[in-house]
């Protein structure tokens, strides 16, 4: 039996995530998930891949908006749910979509905290960004995520990886939205269609991992792991894979303790444990 054990929301792309007991599902994913994003002077997204200090910015969801606090400096700033309404075209990888500036004061705060000129943008409901049509054709949309509205990882998969490492790593290295217990390591690879309550989820693409997984989210120390070890048994087409990207239909609320009702599994040989895939 597969059961939800952890849920995470990342309101501002690439900043620290928030562990929650339950989450509301919207058209673009969890409510508030990656609806804000920092962009550079060219209006291109900024992530921990280039600016690891983003990990030190902790976000909490308040009644009227977000509160962002620097974990070390202690400085904080409030971000209202309502943006300026001034539209801008932003770039995420090869995608472009519409965002809205939030405020000059907030831009100045992030610029000071990061030592990098940047601006905060918000994705309004009118902005419709399609997921990668090569893997999930249709009308599924996402927010400012890399490509899809959800990422799921089985706890057994992390346990298996940690059994191969000299030092165990926490789940926050992989930034999932959902974690489940039960099942075998990498069982998420085969989840083609499952339900939680009245919401249908569809596995569309294994998640290829980057250097963000090598950044300690508290100290910012960088190392070769977990990519070095994952490359030994989770590599395919020169990509290192860990976790499954999902799209969905339906809305509602999911919570820790909910069960995954498996509708169908993939029959592709997408993973082979203990050797390269």
- The 10s digit of each residue's pLDDT in 146-156 is 999 999 999 99
pLDDT band at 276 (very low <50, low <70, confident <90, very high): very low
For residue 262, is pLDDT > 50?
A: yes
Query: What is the reported pLDDT for 268?
Result: 64
Asked if residues 161 and 242 have their Cβ atoms less than 8 Å apart, the reply is yes
Query: What is the reported pLDDT for 137?
Result: 85
Helices (H) and strands (E) in the chain, counts: 3, 21
Query: Which residue matches tokens 């569809």?
Result: 202
Q: Where are the domains of the chain?
A: 3-8+132-265, 30-130
Q: Which residues contact 185 (CB under 8 A, 6 or more apart)?
A: 154, 156, 157, 159, 160, 273
Q: Which tokens is 46 given?
A: 């900024």
- The 10s digit of each residue's pLDDT in 23-55 is 999 999 999 999 999 999 999 999 999 999 999
Alpha-carbon radius of gyration of the chain:
18
- CATH architecture of structural domain 3-8+132-265: Beta Barrel (2.40)
pLDDT band at 121 (very low <50, low <70, confident <90, very high): very high
- Whose CA is closest to 212, among 146, 166, 262, 133? 146
- Whose CA is closest to 148, among 116, 121, 175? 175
Query: What is the reported pLDDT for 275?
Result: 44
- The 10s digit of each residue's pLDDT in 122-150 is 999 999 999 999 999 889 999 999 999 99
Tell me the pLDDT of the chain averaged across its residues: 95
Asked if residues 38 and 46 have their Cβ atoms less than 8 Å apart, the reply is yes
Query: What is the reported pLDDT for 267?
Result: 74
Query: Which residue matches tokens 């609806």?
Result: 35
- The 10s digit of each residue's pLDDT in 224-238 is 999 999 999 999 999
Buried (b) or exposed (e) across 237-269, using 16+ Cβ within 10 A? Answer: eeebbbbbbbbbeeeeebebebebebeeeeeee
> What does the alpha-carbon distance between residue 43 and residue 76 come to, in Å, rounded to a whole number?
24
Query: What is the reported pLDDT for 274?
Result: 43
Query: What is the reported pLDDT for 273?
Result: 47
Asked if residues 25 and 9 have their Cβ atoms less than 8 Å apart, the reply is no
Query: What is the reported pLDDT for 87?
Result: 97
- The 10s digit of each residue's pLDDT in 172-220 is 999 999 999 999 999 999 999 999 999 999 999 999 999 999 999 999 9
């Amino acid at each position: 039996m597969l059961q939800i054990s952890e849920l995470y929301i990342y309101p501002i792309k690439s900043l620290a995530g928030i562990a929650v007991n339950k989450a509301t599902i919207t058209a673009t994913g969890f409510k508030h998930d990656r609806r804000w994003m920092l962009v550079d002077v060219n209006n291109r997204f900024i992530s921990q891949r280039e600016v690891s200090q983003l990990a030190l910015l902790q976000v909490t969801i308040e009644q009227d908006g977000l509160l962002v606090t620097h974990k070390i400096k202690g400085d904080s700033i409030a971000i209202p749910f309502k943006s300026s309404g001034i539209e801008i075209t932003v770039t995420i990888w090869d995608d472009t979509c519409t965002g809205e500036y939030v405020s000059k004061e907030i831009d100045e705060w992030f610029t000071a905290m990061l030592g990098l000129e940047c601006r905060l943008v918000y994705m309004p409901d009118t902005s419709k960004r399609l997921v990668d049509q090569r893997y999930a054709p249709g009308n599924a949309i996402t927010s400012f995520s890399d490509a899809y509205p959800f990422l799921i990882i089985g706890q057994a998969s992390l346990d298996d990886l940690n059994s191969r490492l000299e030092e165990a790593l926490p789940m926050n290295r992989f930034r999932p939205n959902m974690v489940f217990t039960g099942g075998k390591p990498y069982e998420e690879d085969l989840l083609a269609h499952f339900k939680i309550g009245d919401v249908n989820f569809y596995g569309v693409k294994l998640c290829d991992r980057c250097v963000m997984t090598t950044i300690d989210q508290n100290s910012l120390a960088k190392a070769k792991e977990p990519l070095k070890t994952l490359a030994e048994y989770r590599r395919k087409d020169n990509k290192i894979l860990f976790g499954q990207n999902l799209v969905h239909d339906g809305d509602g609320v999911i919570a820790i303790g909910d069960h995954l009702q498996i509708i169908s599994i993939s029959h592709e040989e997408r993973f082979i444990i203990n050797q390269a895939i």
